[in-house]
Copies of this chain bind each other. A is one copy, B any other.
Amino acid sequence: MAFPSDIEIAQINEHDRMKDINEIAEKVGLESKDIEPYGHYKAKISGSGISKAMKNDDGKLILVTSINPTPAGEGKSTVAIGLADSLQALGKKTVLALREPSLGPVMGIKGGATGGGYAQVVPMEDINLHFTGDMHALTSAINTLAALIDNHMHQGNQLNIDPRRIIWKRALDINDRALRSTVIGLGSPINSIPREEHFEITVASELMAILCLSQDLDDLKERIASILIAYTFDKKPVFVRDLHVEGAITMLLKDALKPNLVQTLENTPAIIHGGPFANIAHGCNSILATKLAMKLGDYTITEGGFGADLGGEKFMDIVTPRLNHAPNAVVIVATIRALKYNGGQQLADLENEDLKALTLGFKNLKRHIQNMRYYNVPVIVSINRFATDTENEIKLLTSLCDEVGVDVELTEIHHKGSKGGIDLAKAVIKAADKASNYSRLYEDEQTTEEKIATIASEIYGANNVEYSDKAKKQLKSLKDNVWDDLPVCIAKTQYSLSDDPKKLGSPKDFTLHVKSLVPKLGAGFIVVLTGNVMTMPGLPSKPAALNMDVDNTGKISGLF
């Protein structure tokens, strides 16, 4: 019998297995009035719940990250969820803090954002579809702001906004390639001013990053007011506060700012909230979610998007200072398959033993171990076991890890749930007991070039940074506007430590090419583009939507 699909596992006796969300809230000391239920298995944590939690001390924070992703699959979310279940099985009060999935990709490519096998957050259908409406609130807020900008120009353009220099983009939570490049405002003078518009996917919008970095509604409003939306005809910056609509836009996000509570298949509480793109934004769940999880649990498991060079670095340099709490331990997830792929073995051959490829591919893992150690936090390697991993390969990997002095744990979380992650959980408990001594890679006060140079050399391993003419101009503009005391958020391919997706393993002696710099003044970072980042994905030739269905009782099929 084939191993069941994720949705099949999630639906086995779901109403017996899932506990009422009030019971999950009770586990972490929250009463019925501290949560706002959305159905019987999801809730938002209300203002009173947040205030109550904030009085607690912080528990320990574990960051799960990974090697550079490969088509072989690493299973980072699955490990994060399973690790939380394993810690709970060991009697530890544990809370997950994860990103919420975007609906767009769900319709495109099979593959969930809610874990897999016996390590899932549930109800997985709801979480993957509309959940508690956060993405929809963001989409509404993003497009309302855009409509207000166009309407301002249409109604006399008192602010003198140049329609050719509008930065704020409309968004949909849909993979819609046809909206990447459009012309709007056509047809008649009553239809506003004709201009180019480039829709993004909602999670790529600055507003998502802002939601994830805001401490409360006042902070959210202040950040929204600070968004750079356009330039005037005489090239002066225009902010949301100039339009006087930060109140209305914040109002639309009033509920979206409240973190969401759900559970794993093993009833571990999970706070799932916010999910910014991991390349052009920082790729971590909301600060509020992680904070709350730390206040409510003795152990909090969270993850960063893509590999440790992207989500990991951003968690350390952007999130940690705002969270005021560094990870007490970092888990780097890999698979022997993915390491062999990094070492040059072909995708079709990964089931065959290849010690040479494993040795070569290990260099990628080694670099990420070193990188996370720059921050002075304990590091553990977690290897997701596959049936095709050979004894020789496991022995080799163990000895390679021994050489760099890192603890390596094998897990079988996908097939066995918490039982498959007990050793990892024990290692995490031990590591997190060590005194934490986080040190940051750079200071915000350094120049933008210095910050970029530091990340390029220390994290990526580049020996040079090259700026395009456009980027050089933009560096000057950042200085002229005094916008350069912000952290940098580097947009780079996730497939390589370099900016070339084909350079696997641990490339050396390469140049990082900075194409342009985008100030995100609401989020509070400078996006550094090192390639063409697509902010609106497309659908494949056979979209996953073709297989999806729902019966008359509401039961869904074909969703993962």
Contacts and interface: CB of A to CB of B under 8 A. Distances in A.
Given A36-B39, A130-B255, A139-B136, A191 B217 contact: no
Interface in A135-190: 136-137, 139-140, 143-144, 146-148, 150-151, 154-156, 172-188, 190
B251 A129 contact: yes
Contacts of A182: 182-186, 197
Contacts of A38: 36-39
Given A39-B36, A185-B178, A254 B147 contact: no
A545 to B, nearest CB: 4
Interface in A533-560: 538-541, 543, 545-554, 556, 558-559
Contacts of A54: none
Contacts of A540: 155
A39 B33 CA distance: 10
A174 B188 contact: no
A310 B135 CA distance: 35
A173 B140 contact: yes
A345 B389 CA distance: 87
A103 interface: yes
Contact of A251 (B154, B218, B254, B556): B556
B244 A144 contact: no
Contact of A147 (B129, B154, B156, B539): B539
Contacts of A150: 176-178
A40 interface: yes
A549 B247 contact: yes
Contact of A183 (B107, B186, B244, B254): B186
Given A151-B538, A174-B147, A248 B218 contact: no
**How many copies of this protein are present in the complex?**
2
Nearest to A153: B178
Contacts of A558: 247
Given A140-B174, A147-B539, A186-B181, A552 B156 contact: no
A237 interface: no
Nearest to A180: B191
A143 B103 CA distance: 12
A9 interface: no
A338 to B, nearest CB: 28
A83 B244 CA distance: 39
Q: Chain A, interface size: which category? A: 35 or more
Contact of A177 (B151, B173, B195, B545): B151
A250 interface: yes
Contact of A130 (B133, B146, B181): B133
A47 to B, nearest CB: 6
Contact of A175 (B147, B179, B186): B147
Given A148-B543, A182-B183, A251-B549, A554 B133 contact: no
Nearest to A51: B553
A178 B168 CA distance: 14
A252 interface: yes
Nearest to A534: B190
Interface string A240-254: 000011011011101
A172 B148 contact: no
A248 B143 contact: no
Contacts of A173: 140
Contacts of A552: 216-218
Contact of A140 (B130, B156, B178, B538): B130
Interface string A199-224: 00000000000000000111001000
A232 interface: no
A178 B174 contact: no
Given A133-B136, A217-B554, A543-B148, A179 B174 contact: no
A140 B107 CA distance: 11
A538 B184 CA distance: 14
Interface string A511-547: 0000000000000000000000000001111010111
A476 to B, nearest CB: 28
A548 B248 contact: yes
A161 to B, nearest CB: 13
B559 A251 contact: yes
A127 to B, nearest CB: 13
Nearest to A145: B545
A245 B546 contact: yes
A11 interface: no
B191 A140 contact: no
A503 to B, nearest CB: 24
Interface string A19-44: 00000000000000100111110001
A552 B217 CA distance: 5
B248 A147 contact: no
Contacts of A547: 247
A185 B133 CA distance: 28
Nearest to A188: B181
A179 B38 CA distance: 33
A144 B430 CA distance: 47
Given A144-B174, A151-B539, A190-B538, 10 more contacts: A33-B40, A37-B40, A136-B137, A136-B140, A148-B545, A181-B188, A182-B184, A182-B186, A250-B550, A254-B550
